[in-house]
Each structure stands twice: as structure tokens, then as C-alpha cells.
Amino acid sequence: MYKQFKPAAVLPLTLAVLFMLAGCNEKTSTAWSGYAEGDYVYISAPLGGKLDSIKVQAGQQVSKDSPLFALDAEAENAAHDEASARLTSAQAQASNTEKGRRTEEIAVTQAQLTSAQAQAALARQELARQQQLVGQGFVSKSRIDDAQTNVKLAEARVAELNAALSVAKLPARVDERAAAQASADAAKEALRQTIWRSGQKSQNAPANALVAEVFFRQGEYVQAGQPVLSLLPPENRKARFFVPEAELGKIAVGQAVSLHCDGCAASIPAHISRIASQAEYTPPVIYSNAQRAKLVFMVEAKPDQPGKLLLHPGQPLDVSLLSAVTGAGKAQ
């Protein structure tokens, strides 16, 4: 004999099972989807030129100060040689103004002075002889006048050469020396500029990094300031994920998070470094209660040990909180 089936008897059991299933579907932890990103460093030269050599290739790890590339520096090297020669000339001129005439020139003036002194002595002797002859009545007084004139001329010549010898031993005037020194200083700065320009034609790695991309090949012309390659230092790798507007109060800058990726042996500890101040991918609509659920904010987190666990830009990530926040996180 079959018993009659009573739906009312199984209804409480069915509802209990549904509530249990619903409870199992609830998330026990907050997690968001994101991806790895990198802040690339673009390496360029402030001067243009033909790419002479490229020392690295994409995907290569480089150390700090490793050579990356070099541009043609023939013009800069020629300018450097010219500036160096000009500096040598200017310094020689400045040094020359600190000295008197050459030793040979002074020797000539000294010889002329000695000759003039001898002539003056002879003129004085001749004057004395003429004076003696006049006293004896052998010559007229006009001969004494001529002898006195010759003495004065000889003594004047001696005085002139003495003055010339003193001037020959003196350096140039103060203004001339200052002008010569200023020219030497200007030549020195011009040389320093050419050294800087020559040095800028080759670039080295500013830090340990991965060569992400190489944009030029050897022989191509590179404009001034145009990146030749890009680097990605390990500390510039980060996670980027998006948090719904309703969950924004759960996070704050500096908060610890955990990064998970496919194939990673373990989670990657990180800290939130930035919270966007504006919503991402928001349609231009009024922020009604119905639309608020569509608002998401971009959040960035940097790994605690960037040198050990490298994230690959574009790599999908799952981000979860390690601790709760007592207050709302500040957007940056």
C-alpha cells in the first residue's frame, strides 16, 4: 500500500539546503583581479646623431653603468680638439702677460745702455778737455758749448735706455692681464662644454634593469632626446588592479596585500602604493544608486622584495587583502 506524498513535509528541508548552498557561495575573503605593470625608463641622448653601436638587446639584464649605446661623435671630438688648442693658446697668452720681454730683447736693450753710458763718459771727457783748452786760449768758447750739448745728449740717451730696460722687465698692464686671463677662462669653459657633449654621445644604464625594447638599429639616425631603448628596473614593477566603489573603504595606501599569479610557487607580498582619485572606465552618466555599482578605482601595489620576485608586465594577477582597514583609504 502506497502512502500519499505530502509536499508540505519536504518544504522545510528544501529551504534549509538552499540556504546552505547560498552560504557556501559567499566569499570569505576580499580579492580583485588585476595585472602586472611597469614604469619604463626611456634612455635617450640630448644630442642627435647616427647610431654607431648598440651594446644590448631586448630581454637582456644589464647592470648599473653598463654601456648601452653610442652615437657618432666625430664632430664633437673635432670640436674638443679645437677647444683644447684654443685653451692652450689662451693660457700661453695669459702667462705671457705676467712676464716682461724675452731675455734676448732685454739683452739688446742692456747692450744699447752700455754703449750709451760709454758715449756719455767720452762726451764728459771731451767737455773737460775743451774746458782746459779754452783756459789756455787754444780754442773758442763755442767749442765748450758744443761739448756740453753732446754731454746732455749722451746722458739723455742713457736715461732713455734705463727707462726702456725697466719697462722691458715689467709685466703687462693690469687691464691687459685681466683680459688675457678672462680669455683663458672662457676657453676653459668652452673645452668643458665639448667634453660634456662628447660624453653625452654614449649612454650607460642608470640602474640594474631589464632591457625592455630597442627602438633603433645600428646606422639609423636618432634625433636629440629621442629614446633609443627602454629599461625596466625591478623596483619599477608593480601590480595594478581595480576595486569597486563600494569596497574602496576597505583599502588604504601602505596596506599589505598578497599577489597571486598562475605558475607562481607562492604568493607575493606587496603594499598598496597608490589609489586613484577618480573612477576608471566610468560612462558619462549621473551617479545614481543604480550606476554606483559600475564605478571602479584603479589601485597600484608594489612588491616588498622587487629584486627577488619579478612580475612580468601584462601578467594576470589576483590581489587579496592581508589585513582589514579601520578607516577609508585616501585616494591619491
How many domains, in total, are found in the chain? 3
Residue 282 within any structural domain of the chain: yes
Same domain, 220 and 134: no
Which distant-in-sequence residues (6+ apart) come within 8 Å of 109 by Cβ? 161, 164, 165, 168
Same domain, 222 and 308: no
Do 49 and 129 lie in one domain? The reply is no
List, as one string, the DSSP characters of 213-253: EE---TT-EE-TT--SEEEE-GGGEEEEEEEEGGGGGG--T
Range of the domain at 206: 41-71+201-232
Is 214 a domain residue? yes
- The answer to whether position 16 is within a domain reads no
Query: Per the domain annotation, does 19 fall within a domain?
Result: no
Same domain, 104 and 140: yes
Answer yes or no: is pLDDT of 99 > 70.
no
**Eight-state DSSP code of residue 72:** -
Lowest mean pLDDT among 54-63, 84-93, 305-314: 305-314
- Would you state the pLDDT for residue 26? 40
Mean pLDDT over 131-160 rounds to 78
Of 240 and 157, which is predicted with more confidence?
Answer: 240
Answer yes or no: is pLDDT of 175 > 50. yes
Mean pLDDT computed over 3-16: 41
Kindly report the pTM of this predicted structure: 0.64
- Structure confidence by residue, pLDDT tens digits, 198-214: 999 999 999 999 999 99
CATH number at residue 163: 1.10.287.470
3 occurs within a structural domain: no
99-108, 158-167, 236-245, 301-310: range with highest mean pLDDT? 236-245
**pLDDT of 92 over the 80 cut:** yes
Same domain for 293 and 210, yes or no, is no
Separation of alpha carbons 319 and 244, rounded Å? 13
Asked, for residue 14, whether it belongs to a domain, the answer is no
- 307 and 167, same structural domain? no
Which CATH number characterizes residue 223's domain?
Answer: 2.40.50.100
Predicted confidence (pLDDT) per residue in 41-88, tens digit: 999 999 999 999 999 999 999 999 999 999 999 999 999 999 999 999
Residues 101 and 189 in one domain: yes
Q: Which has more pLDDT, 287 or 110? A: 110
187 in a domain, yes or no?
Answer: yes
